[in-house]
A and B are shown apart, each in its own frame.
Chain A
Amino acid sequence: MSETKNNNKFENPHYAKREVTGPDGKQFIVDPIKDYFSDERPKVYEPNSIPVVEKFLNWARAESLWVLGFGTGCGSIEIPPLMTPRFDAFRFGIQSRPTPRQSNVFIISGYLAVKTLKRVIRSYEQMPSPKYVLALGSCTINGGMYFDSYNTINRLDHYIPVDVYVAGCMPRPEALLAAFNRLKELIKEGKGEKANEYAANFDWYKENQKKIIKDWNMPDYNW
Chain B
Amino acid sequence: MDFDIKRLGFTLLGLLIVLNWGLLMSSIMRKLGARVAKRYGIRWFQPWLDLVKNYALRSQISHGIMFYLGPVFRIGGGVGLFLFMPMIIGSELWLNYSFHGDLVLLMYFQFFGMLGMALGSGEGGHPYSAIGISRGLSQFTTIEVPMTLAIISLAIQYDTLSLIDIVKAQQGGFQNWTMWTNPVATIAGMFSLLGALSHSPFNLVKAPNEIPIGPPTEYHSTFLGVLQTNAAILHVVEAALFMNLFFGGATNWFEFILKTFFIYFWSVFVGVVFPRFRIEQSVAWFLKIPLVFGVLAIILYM
- Tell whether any CB of A sits under 8 Å from a CB of B in the complex: yes
Of B37, B56, B59, which one neighbours A85 at CB under 8 angstroms? B37
Residues of A within 8 A of B59 (CB): 43, 45, 128-129
Size of interface on A: residues with Cβ below 8 Å to B: 29
Contact A91 B208, beta carbon cutoff 8 Å = no
Q: A90 to B56: give the CA distance in the assembly, Å.
A: 21
Q: Please tell me if B212 contacts chain A, counting CB pairs below 8 Å.
A: yes
Cβ of A102: which chain B residues have Cβ within 8 Å of it?
213, 216, 219-220, 224
Say whether A93 contacts B42, CB under 8 Å: yes
Proximity bits, A28-65, B CB within 8 Å = 1, else 0? 00000000101000010100000000001100110110
For chain B, residues 38 to 66, give those with C-beta under 8 angstroms from any C-beta of chain A. 38-43, 46, 49-50, 52-53, 56-61
Within 8 A of B (CB), among A111-168: 128-130
In this assembly, does A98 line the interface, its C-beta being within 8 Å of a C-beta of chain B? yes
Residues of B at the A interface (CB closer than 8 Å) are: 34, 37-43, 46, 49-50, 52-53, 56-61, 125, 208, 212-213, 216-221, 224
Identify the interface centre among A63, A93, A99, A223: most chain B CB within 10 Å of its CB. A99
How far is it, in angstroms, between the C-alpha of A84 and the C-alpha of B213 when the chains are bound?
21
Q: Decide if A78 is an interface residue (CB 8 Å cutoff).
A: no
A-side binding surface: helix, strand, loop or mixed? loop
| Residues of the B chain whose Cβ atoms lie less than 8 Å from the Cβ of A61 | 53, 56
* Minimum distance in angstroms from B129 CB to a CB of chain A: 10
Q: Is the CB of A91 within 8 A of B41?
A: yes
Q: Are B57 and A128 in contact (CB under 8 A)?
A: yes
Given contacts A99-B217, A102-B224, A129-B59, A60 and B39 within 8 Å (CB-CB): no
A-B CB contact pairs (8 Å), 9 listed: A61-B56, A64-B52, A88-B39, A88-B40, A98-B212, A99-B218, A101-B217, A102-B224, A129-B58
Query: A95 to chain B: which residues have CB within 8 Å?
Result: 42
Say whether A128 contacts B221, CB under 8 Å.
Answer: yes
Distance in angstroms from B132 CB to nearest chain A CB is 12
Contact of A60 among B52, B58, B220 (CB under 8 A): B52
Known: A91-B40, A104-B57. 14 other contacts (CB 8 A): A38-B61, A56-B52, A57-B52, A90-B41, A90-B42, A91-B41, A95-B42, A97-B213, A98-B208, A98-B213, A99-B213, A128-B57, A129-B57, A223-B61
A-B pairs, top 9 by smallest CB distance, nearest first, are A98-B212, A101-B220, A60-B52, A45-B58, A64-B53, A57-B56, A129-B59, A85-B38, A64-B49
Q: Within the assembled complex, what's the spacing in Å between the Cα atoms of A129 and B61?
A: 11
A99–B43 touching, CB < 8 Å: no
Shortest A85–chain B CB gap in Å is: 4
A64 touches B39 (CB 8 A): no
Q: Which residue on chain A has the smallest CB distance to residue B37?
A: A85
Nearest opposing residue in chain B for A94, CB measure: B42
In the complex, A64→B61 CA distance in Å? 21
Q: Nearest chain A CB to B289's CB is how many angstroms away?
A: 31
Given contacts A101-B219, A101-B220, A128-B221, whether A90 and B34 have CB atoms under 8 Å apart is yes
